[in-house]
Chains A and B, each alone.
Chain A
């Protein structure tokens, strides 16, 4: 059973296109996250949601828009893709917001913008 799943696993697209990445967790967690990992493996949080409410919105271009239709899903829509958006995007979830909670990561979506 996959705990945190993401689709698609790979995404190759042209500059200027709009694309979405979907994330689902079946752990019954209240909190979900999006991270971006660059080519040097540096990992940075983008957004977090708790019970469908936006909690963290880091300095991310407003071309990136998260949407949480329910507690089990957190999707990421990206408008007008740019070359610099090429990265691996990870979804994660945790039981709650408390800082001692373990986060469970999905397998990642490898986005390449040409």
Chain B
């Protein structure tokens, strides 16, 4: 079945540091890939997505590229801010009509 593996946190960075959160997946067919973010006390919201191989999703300075050859969708940001502190979820949308989520990575950015 479909599965998503993302790096376990927590991740703690200083403001303006470079961020990478790794995500790899296993799926049949050609899934869509997503990064969702959950700020404290809130629901999840879409950060970015990619629907086919080599697509790059980007939003708010975050980027991720759908790499079919390495089955990966790593999240990157060049300079994090305190306001980026949240839990980040990698997710896969597959042919079974559901999103399969990774376990989430807690990011804390210190001033």
A residues neighboring B (CB under 8 Å): 4, 33, 40-45, 48, 55-56, 90, 92, 97, 99-108
Contact = CB atoms under 8 A, between A and B. Distances in A.
- Interface centre among B51, B93, B99, by most A CB within 10 Å? B99
Contacts of A40: 103
A104 B36 CA distance: 10
A26 to B, nearest CB: 15
Contacts, number: 57
Contacts of A55: 97
Contacts of B104: 41-43
Nearest to B89: A43
B34 A102 contact: yes
A60 to B, nearest CB: 13
A48 B99 CA distance: 11
Contact of B43 (A41, A97, A102, A108): A108
27 contacts: A4-B43, A41-B103, A41-B104, A41-B106, A42-B103, A43-B44, A43-B89, A44-B101, A45-B99, A55-B97, A56-B98, A90-B44, A92-B44, A99-B32, A99-B93, A99-B94, A99-B97, A100-B93, A101-B93, A102-B34, A102-B46, A103-B99, A104-B45, A104-B46, A105-B36, A105-B44, A107-B43
Interface residues of B, number: 25
Given A99-B97, A107-B42, 13 more contacts: A40-B103, A41-B38, A41-B87, A45-B99, A48-B97, A48-B98, A56-B96, A56-B97, A100-B32, A103-B44, A103-B46, A105-B36, A108-B42
B75 to A, nearest CB: 16
Contacts of A92: 43-44
Nearest to B30: A99
Contacts of B43: 4, 90, 92, 105-108
Contacts of B42: 107-108
Contacts of B77: none
